[in-house]
């Protein structure tokens, strides 16, 4: 396999201290790509803010639905009582 500069061949996850069979021709980098981690954290923060906003929106809708239901219930009682009297 031909690998070019900057190309990632693959990742492996092993326990620290594990003996692996590497020859002098193998090149291994033990680095963490901070740009990828930062991107993932920013994505999680954005998703969290969207979920909080959605939750707040749902609570607001529920509050207004209950309020509308209460108003309609009041008008139904008013309508029934006026019909009984008239």
Domain definitions of the chain by residue range: 56-86
Q: Supply the pLDDT for residue 15.
A: 79
Residue 1 predicted with pLDDT over 60: no
CA–CA distance, 2 with 5 (Å, rounded to integer) = 10
Residue 3 predicted with pLDDT over 80: no
pTM for this entry = 0.42
The answer to whether residues 20 and 14 touch, using CB atoms and an 8 Å cutoff, is yes
Q: Supply the pLDDT for residue 2.
A: 58
CA 79 vs. chain centroid, Å, equals 47
> Residues 17-65: pLDDT tens digits?
777 777 777 766 665 666 677 778 888 888 888 899 889 898 899 998 8
């Amino acid at each position: 396999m031909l690998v070019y500069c900057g190309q990632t061949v693959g990742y492996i996850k092993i326990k620290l201290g594990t003996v692996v069979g590497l020859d002098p021709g193998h090149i291994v980098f033990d680095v963490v790509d901070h740009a990828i981690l930062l991107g993932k954290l920013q994505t999680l923060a954005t998703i969290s803010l969207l979920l909080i906003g959605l939750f707040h929106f749902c609570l607001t809708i529920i509050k207004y639905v209950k309020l509308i239901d209460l108003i309609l219930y009041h008008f139904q009682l008013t309508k029934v009582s006026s019909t009984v009297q008239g």
